[in-house]
């Protein structure tokens, strides 16, 4: 079915985006949106802003592609300036996001760096604050996901990298950012349906996302008296480069997301409104919430 005009069009969610039945494919780490087959919809032509984040300043980790790229586009179209973090090998995707952000007349600060390093995480925050003139929103989105059919095949190196990317980096970045966040500021964490319904082949990844949910709820209670809101988004199966860099078994790629009640995988642009809502003043009484955007799968 043809793509609708934009994400605000009233239509049938089962056919809003085509059912993705991608060919078996594999990309080297960390993967690029530019090489994804078929391309994902990050909102390049399908997200329409309404000024809900006018004047905000946001740091988005993993902001070059997938959900993070869609969030960067959406935030810019809602009136925010953004700083995006990504790995140096993802420069091609990061340049495309910068083009789209700057086309909206907004600032896009590029901050390449590996978030598994504490000093890098602290530097990202300081550079974002310096170059954006402050910080009002933090989106912790960078993630590591590697499929492993058995716990016996999860090496110490893989386990360490997954935990550092998904848990340590979250902690380090939030700790560094808190002192810069005034009343009205927000933190949004990218969790996963895996936190509630773990796949047997994503044991270490699912564990980290459950930890993220708990961390988000605890930090939300800690920061709420200061007027800083913390919330979590838990995506279901979303078509991004994460899936083709060992994120799913290669033979499962053609069926990716087809088992959801809506009958298809999600597109990154469909996640972006959740991040906009949680960063905007209209969600002022939403604190410590995990917003599931998963196409109808059960969740607590």
Mean pLDDT estimate for the chain:
91
Known active-site residue 205: yes
Q: What is the pLDDT of residue 5?
A: 66
**Res. 9: pLDDT tops 90:** no
Whole-Å CA distances, 294 to 16, 36, 49, 235, 270: 15, 21, 23, 5, 10
Residues near 161 by beta carbon (within 8 Å), at least 6 away in sequence:
116, 144
Determine which one of 196, 205, 275, 285 is catalytic: 205
Q: What is the pLDDT of residues 211-265, one digit of tens each?
A: 999 999 999 999 999 999 999 999 999 988 878 777 687 788 888 888 899 898 8
Distance CA 102, CA 40 (A): 21
Q: What percent of the chain has pLDDT over 70?
A: 96
Name the phi and psi angles at 41, rounded to 5.
Answer: -95, 105
* 222/4: higher pLDDT: 222
Q: Domain 53-293 adopts which CATH fold?
A: Rossmann fold (3.40.50)
- Strand, coil or helix: what is 188? strand
For tokens 């056919």, name the residue. Answer: 15
For the chain, the structural domain boundaries read 53-293
**Res. 99: pLDDT tops 70:** yes
Q: What is the pLDDT of residues 264-287, one digit of tens each?
A: 888 999 999 999 999 999 999 999
* 296/5: higher pLDDT: 296
Structure tokens at 151: 């716990």
Question: What pTM was computed for the model?
Answer: 0.92
- DSSP strand E in the chain: where? 57-61, 81-86, 108-112, 137-140, 186-190, 229-235, 290-293
Q: What is the pLDDT of residue 4?
A: 54
- Mean local confidence (pLDDT), 71-94: 96
Check if the beta carbon of residue 49 is closer than 8 Å to that of residue 79.
yes
| Cα dihedral value 106, 109, 114, 115, nearest 10 | -60
**173 half-sphere exposure, CB direction, 13 A CA radius:** 37
Banded pLDDT at 2 (limits 50, 70, 90): very low
**Res. 108: pLDDT tops 90:** yes
Q: What is the pLDDT of residue 251?
A: 81
Q: What is the pLDDT of residues 253-270, one digit of tens each?
A: 888 888 899 898 889 999
């Amino acid at each position: 079915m043809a793509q609708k005009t934009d994400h605000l069009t009233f239509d049938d969610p089962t056919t809003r985006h085509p059912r993705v039945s991608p060919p078996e494919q594999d990309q080297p780490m960390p993967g690029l949106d530019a090489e994804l087959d078929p391309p994902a919809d990050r909102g390049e032509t399908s997200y329409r802003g309404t000024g809900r984040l006018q004047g905000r300043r946001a740091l988005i980790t993993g902001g070059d592609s997938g959900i993070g790229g869609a969030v960067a586009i959406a935030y810019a179209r809602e009136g925010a300036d953004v700083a995006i973090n990504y790995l140096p090998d993802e420069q091609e995707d990061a340049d495309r996001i910068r083009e789209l952000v700057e086309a909206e007349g907004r600032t896009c600060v590029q901050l390449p760096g590996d978030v598994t390093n504490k000093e890098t995480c602290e530097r990202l925050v300081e550079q974002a604050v310096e170059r954006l003139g402050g910080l009002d929103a933090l989106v912790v989105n960078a993630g590591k996901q590697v499929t492993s059919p058995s716990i016996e095949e999860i090496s110490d190196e893989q386990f360490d990298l997954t935990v550092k990317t998904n848990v340590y980096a979250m902690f380090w970045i939030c700790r560094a950012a808190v002192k810069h966040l005034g009343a009205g500021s927000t933190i949004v964490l990218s969790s996963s349906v895996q936190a509630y319904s773990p796949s047997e082949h994503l044991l270490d990844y699912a564990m980290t996302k459950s930890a993220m949910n708990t961390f988000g709820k605890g930090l939300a209670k800690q920061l709420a008296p200061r007027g800083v809101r913390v919330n979590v988004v838990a995506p279901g199966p979303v078509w991004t480069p994460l899936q083709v860099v060992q994120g799913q078994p290669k033979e499962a790629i053609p069926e990716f997301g087809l088992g959801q009640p809506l009958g298809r995988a999600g597109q990154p642009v469909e996640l972006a409104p959740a991040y906009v809502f949680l960063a905007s003043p209209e969600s002022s009484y939403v604190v410590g919430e995990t917003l599931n955007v998963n196409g109808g799968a059960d969740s607590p």
